[in-house]
Amino acid sequence: MKGDNEVAQKIDRRTFIKSGVGLSAASLISKGSQPFYQNAENSRPVVIASANGLRATEKAMKMMRQGKDSLDSVIAGVNIIESDPEDITVGYGGLPNEEGVVELDSSVMHGPSHNAGAVASLRHIKNPSKVARLVMERTAHALLVGEGALKFALSHGFKKENLLTEKSRKIWLKKKESLSDKDFWYPPPVEIKKSDPHALLESHGTINCCALDVQGQLAGVTTTSGFFYKIPGRVGDSPLIGAGLYVDNNVGAAGSTGFGEANILTCGSYSVVEFMRQGHGPEQACLKSLKRVANKARLWPGYKDEKGRPIFDLNFYAVNKRGEFAGASLWKGKHFAAHDGQKNRLRECAYLYEK
């Protein structure tokens, strides 16, 4: 629990945000041991996201051009994906846990106030990122989970909904029926091979979205339904500040998609921002963090191939205070979405390994 002093500081920060006073135009960025100043007025709006976030980057850029701040913009962007039943690993229509229940995780982080909020294992609410924002702005806490998070959302007027769509229910049932021949669940006598849930999983993902707005302020959001068929109550990296998301308004913002446990165990997004603080560009910072993950993965039984390389994938996305940005993955072939102020398109991720 936060002490009175910290609560008071949080209230001060809120007052500070409401007053509209941000950082001065000149913000300190450290480059190796030689700090230098980057004039925020030179920065342009930039927004990046995971590959499923092109509509989010489009929306966020539009809002930032209208003068909205980066946090409002990235949340509005990911709300589109959270509400879309076709994206089966985010929000409404996200794939459920092993009991067939959709449980959502999300975090938001606001650079100017260095404040964050998050929810985990939240059921029945299709826009967990909006609830995460309320945790940041309307509580003295940083993370609410499960039943408490749901009650908090209902207190704020959110509507309880069934998030399991027919499409996701069928994928869940197929998985349940094909897991083992030593239980009482049988697959249908004739398998319809139209949709392979694993192929679907590969083509979608958690969404992370980070932005630098026209005032040079950074913010980010990560939102997900987490691992398909997870153990009920499992919390991934997305709602954990420092793992699925981290923002330092003087340096940059970073977020992640992919195998959350590997990211939690290495504080991935925090390390990307720290590498940027040391003077590395976003691409190098993401790759250095991935290298760290890959090295640690050698210690995890069952998570490496015969060459000692991780068998999972993890992706980082980063934007720095100057508006430079990148995406990087452990394995070749991934993309990320970016609107650089001129073009909104998918770009190739840098990578460590080729299959």
Options 165, 206, 223, 224, the catalytic residue: 206
Q: 226's torsion region: left (phi>0), alpha (psi -120 to 50) or beta?
A: left
Binding site for ligand GLY (CB under 6 A): 206, 224, 226-227, 236-238, 257-258, 260
Residue 107 or 224 having the CB closest to ligand GLY: 224
**C-alpha–C-alpha distance, residues 88 and 164, integer Å:** 10
Say how many residues make up the chain: 355
> Is residue 102 within 8 Å of residue 123, measured between CB atoms?
yes
277 Cβ partners below 8 Å, 6+ apart? Answer: 29, 30, 248, 250, 251, 252
CB of 207 to ligand GLY, least distance (A): 10
Residue 248 or 313 having the CB closest to ligand GLY: 313
**C-alpha–C-alpha distance, residues 347 and 338, integer Å:** 7
Whether 222 is catalytic is no
Residue 43 or 206 having the CB closest to ligand GLY: 206
CB of 301 to ligand GLY, least distance (A): 19
Q: 334's torsion region: left (phi>0), alpha (psi -120 to 50) or beta?
A: beta
Residue 98 or 137 having the CB closest to ligand GLY: 98
CB of 236 to ligand GLY, least distance (A): 2
CB of 314 to ligand GLY, least distance (A): 8
**Strand 143-145 vs strand 115-122: parallel, antiparallel, or unpaired?**
parallel
CB of 169 to ligand GLY, least distance (A): 20
Residue 43 or 257 having the CB closest to ligand GLY: 257
> Is residue 109 within 8 Å of residue 245, measured between CB atoms?
yes
The catalytic residue positions are 206
